[in-house]
Amino acid sequence: MKPTLKSWIKWLAPLVVLIVALVAFRDELPFLGEAFYTLLEASPLPLVFAVLTAVGAIVAMAEVMRLLMNSGNDFDVSLKDTTAITLASNAWSTSLPGGPAFSAWLTYRVQRSWGASVALCGWFFVVSSVISTMWLVLIGIGAVLFLGAELNLLTLLATLALTVLVIFAVYWATRNPDTLRRWVSRLPTKLRGSAVKVVDQLATVEMSGRAFAGASAYSLLNRLLDAMTLYFAVWAVVDIAPGFTADQNQTTIMGVALAYVMAKLAGTAQITPGGVGTVEALTAGALVASGMTLVDATAATLIYRIISFALITLIGWIVYLVRYAGKGYMLGRVSPAADTKDAGAKD
């Protein structure tokens, strides 16, 4: 069996099993039908807000990229450009087996075409990932402290400490290349040459504390807007905005926060395309645990996933087809502007 076919079978098999199970046990799961009708009766205004926050979350993520790309560099990338690649790469990430790898490759090739160095691209991937993880962990810690959620607080705190340490280490490295060169000079000769090149590339990354703080703030905004999409989905179903205290068959703000953290944790596993099945089950379960009925929790989860996953992924594929398809980005045929400038400098 070809590796590609094997990957697709491994990727789609859990989804097929899930669909078969739902069809086979449809008469034993009446809450699904009730949830569907509840979804159709959802309040329209919160649905509009949910779409706006889902789009806003993508734009906030794109602004993180814009700030990290533009800070201290001799090229200027617009928010329009970073939003386009954010949408397109997200579509790749959530739709295919090995999607995150394809997504990272597409993002890298597009960033190189803007003129970004290899070091700057690597800086973006590391910093944006650890900052985003840090905010998710903090939301989880908040859910534990204020809701008494059953998450391991020590694990969350350890993860938070590690992400902060990585952020500090990477930021320090870009600000202290001379110190790194002294350390690298002590390496064996075989390793020294490659290590010096890495340090030299890292030295080209310039970022002020203000720009770093801005990227961190927009990364937090991305998480908050994404969580608000779930919040508005819950509001649309129960027709009452969740507050700090819950009435019967309702949840709270922290209950939504817990469900959001569970959704994100389930999504990272990528057992099925976009985490379909696992994300919905854990999100709905968390909402039920925080006070909602199973029917309402299922309907709210479906609304959240239709908007934040299906709609955003669809938009991303449209953007990819219009802007990047057939132009050689995925095949690495686009000449990076950074390479062109380097060649010109050598001449």
Give the mean model confidence (pLDDT) for residues 228-244: 91
Location of structure tokens 């991305």: 222
Q: What is the pTM (predicted TM-score) of this model? A: 0.76
Specify the pLDDT at position 175. 73
The answer to whether the CB of 35 falls within 8 A of the CB of 224 is no
Q: Which of 39-53, 116-130, 223-237 has the lowest mean pLDDT?
A: 116-130
Q: Chain centroid to CA 55: how far?
A: 13
DSSP 252: B
Confidence bin at 264 (pLDDT 50/70/90): confident
Confidence bin at 84 (pLDDT 50/70/90): very high
Location of structure tokens 């050598």: 346
β-pair partners for 252:
243
Specify the pLDDT at position 26. 47
Confidence bin at 82 (pLDDT 50/70/90): very high
Q: Which two tokens stand for residue 329?
A: 């980005």
Residues contacting 11, CB < 8 A, separation 6+: 96, 97, 272, 273
Confidence bin at 205 (pLDDT 50/70/90): low
Of the chain, the percentage scoring pLDDT greater than 70 comes to 69
Of the ranges 144-153, 193-202, 245-254, 294-303, the best mean pLDDT one:
294-303
Specify the pLDDT at position 326. 76
Residue 266: pLDDT above 50?
Answer: yes
pLDDT in tens, 2-27: 555 555 554 455 545 445 544 544 44
Q: What are phi and psi of 252, to 5 degrees?
A: -120, 175
